[in-house]
Amino acid sequence: MRNLRDRPVGQKITFVIMLISGVVLLLAFAALFCFQAYTLKQHSAHELAVVGEITAHNCAAAVMFKDEGAAAQILTGLKTMPQIVSARLEVMDQQRLAYFGGLRDELEIKAARLKSGFRIDGNRILLAQPVMLDGKREGTLYLVADLHAMTSQLLKLYGGIFALVLAASLLLAFLLSSQFLRFVTNPILSLAGIARTIAHDHDYSVRATKVCGDEVGGLTDAFNQMLTQIQSQDSALQTARHKLQEQVIALQREIGERKRAEAAQARLAAILEATPDIVMSANPSGIPFYLNRAGHEILGVAQDRDIAGMKTLYLHPEWAREIFAKDGLQEAIRHGSWAGETTILARNGKEIPVSQVLIAHKSTEGEVEYFSTVLRDMTEYREAEEALRLSQRKLLETSRLAGMAEVATGVLHNVGNVLNSVNVSAG
Residue 343 has pLDDT above 70, yes or no: yes
What is the fold, at CATH topology level, of the domain defined by 2-173?
Beta-Lactamase (3.30.450)
CB atoms under 10 Å from CB of 125, counted, come to: 23
Give percent of the chain above pLDDT 70: 91
How many of the other CB atoms lie within 10 Å of CB of 338?
20
Q: What is the distance between the alpha carbons of residues 8 and 189, in angstroms, rounded to a whole number?
A: 9
For residue range 13-27, list pLDDT tens digits in order: 788 888 888 899 889
CA distance 138 to 231: 101
- What average pLDDT score do residues 94-119 get? 83
pLDDT at residue number 412:
58
**What does the DSSP 8-state code read for residue 328?**
I
Q: Say what the pLDDT of residue 46 is.
A: 92
Query: What residues does 170 pair with on adjacent strands?
Result: none
Q: Which residues pair with 96 in a beta bridge?
A: 90
* Helix 9-58 and helix 182-201, axial crossing angle in degrees, nearest 10: 150
Q: Quick check: 242 pLDDT over 60?
A: yes
Does residue 57 surpass a pLDDT of 60? yes
Nearest CA to 166 out of 1, 22, 282 is that of 22
Rounded mean pLDDT of 253-271? 85
Q: What is the pLDDT of residue 249?
A: 92
Predicted pLDDT at 280: 87
pLDDT value of position 207: 81
What mean pLDDT is predicted for residues 389-399? 81
Read off the pLDDT band of 284 (50, 70, 90). Answer: confident
How many of the other CB atoms lie within 10 Å of CB of 54?
11
Q: Residues 371, 324: contact at Cβ < 8 Å?
A: no
> Does position 359 have pLDDT exceeding 50, yes or no?
yes
pLDDT band at 426 (very low <50, low <70, confident <90, very high): very low
Residue type, 185: T
Residue from 358, 359, 353 nearest 376 by CA: 353
Residue of 281, 262, 269 lying closest to 368 (CA atoms): 281
Rounded to an integer, the average pLDDT of 239-255 is: 90
3-state SS of 325-342?
A: HHHHHHHHHHHCEEEEEE
Q: Which residues contact 123 (CB under 8 A, 6 or more apart)?
A: 41, 146, 147, 148, 151
What residues does 358 pair with on adjacent strands?
A: 338, 373
Q: What is the CATH class of 276-377?
A: alpha beta
CA distance linking residue 87 with residue 62, whole number of Å: 15
Q: What mean pLDDT do residues 202-219 have?
A: 77
Task: Render pLDDT for 121-180 as a digit per residue (tens, 0 to 9).
Answer: 888 888 999 998 888 888 889 999 998 888 888 889 888 998 898 889 888 888 887 777
**Which of 4-8, 64-68, 137-141, 317-321 has the least mean pLDDT?**
4-8
What is the rounded CA–CA span in Å between residue 196 and residue 228?
17
* pLDDT, position 164: 92
Q: What is the pLDDT of residue 424?
A: 47
Average pLDDT rounded to a whole number, residues 117-122: 86
Sequence-separated (6 or more) residues with CB below 8 Å from residue 337: 331, 357, 358, 359, 360
Cβ–Cβ under 8 Å, residues 45 and 125: yes
CA distance linking residue 60 with residue 79, whole number of Å:
19
Q: Beta partners for 362?
A: 368
How many other β-carbons are positioned within 10 Å of the β-carbon of residue 418? 12
Taking the C-alpha atoms of 295, 301, 303 and 308 in order, what is their torsion angle to the nearest 10 degrees? -90
Query: Strand, coil or helix: what is 371?
Result: strand
